[in-house]
Chains A and B, each alone.
Chain A
């Protein structure tokens, strides 16, 4: 079975600070990895995804994530956050041998202060 853990439940940053949100997964085979963002009152939106190839993935709004296979990690980063990045962030994994089911982490609530 696949699982995901996100270590930071709440993060508070000032504008222009750098962001890194941790995500570790557990699965015995090849995985597809995703980061989703949920702004207040809105649906989940895809930030970026990794399927294969370059382990450094660039997404929308200046976000990027690095897949480190040896560490089973897929941390999300942004060099300089903005107030509008305040949202909840979810890491998700899909094991390629487990159908199309996504397994989500518990989410990280990010608050960016002016």
Chain B
């Protein structure tokens, strides 16, 4: 089936540095991908929707300059957390729509980011 590969699974970085998280669709073309953030004991919060070849659409309250999303190809979307701070520590998950019509979604295995 449609698989999304997300890397890295875990990353620890120092405050002030930037971290890039990759999300690749392995056996299908992902025109649309989503980035979520999951806080402990909380729901998955949609951060942004990325469409191949165009600017990402960010949800209200999400800083676009801090969470840079690039979707330059049909198989790769990246999320870069810039100038990371401890409060950015979280679990980030990418997702892609399978096929057309928005009827199916596949999810990456997530990235645990710890900023120290």
Contacts and interface: CB of A to CB of B under 8 A. Distances in A.
Chain B associates with chain A: yes
Contacts of A41: 109
A32 B107 contact: no
B46 A101 contact: yes
Contacts, number: 50
A100 to B, nearest CB: 4
Residue from the set B4, B103, B108 with the largest chain A CB neighbour count within 10 Å = B103
Contacts of B41: 9, 106-107
Given A43-B108, A100-B32, A106 B103 contact: no
Contacts of A9: 41
A101 B43 contact: no
A32 B97 CA distance: 14
A104 interface: yes
Contact of A43 (B97, B103, B107): B107
Contacts of A4: 43
Interface of A: 4, 9, 32, 34, 36, 41-46, 49, 51, 90, 94, 99-107
Interface of B: 4, 6, 32, 34, 36, 41-44, 46, 49, 93, 95, 97, 102-105, 107-110
28 contacts: A4-B43, A9-B41, A34-B105, A36-B107, A41-B109, A43-B4, A43-B93, A43-B110, A44-B107, A46-B104, A46-B105, A51-B103, A94-B102, A100-B49, A100-B102, A101-B46, A102-B34, A102-B46, A102-B95, A102-B105, A103-B46, A104-B36, A104-B43, A104-B44, A106-B41, A106-B42, A106-B43, A107-B42
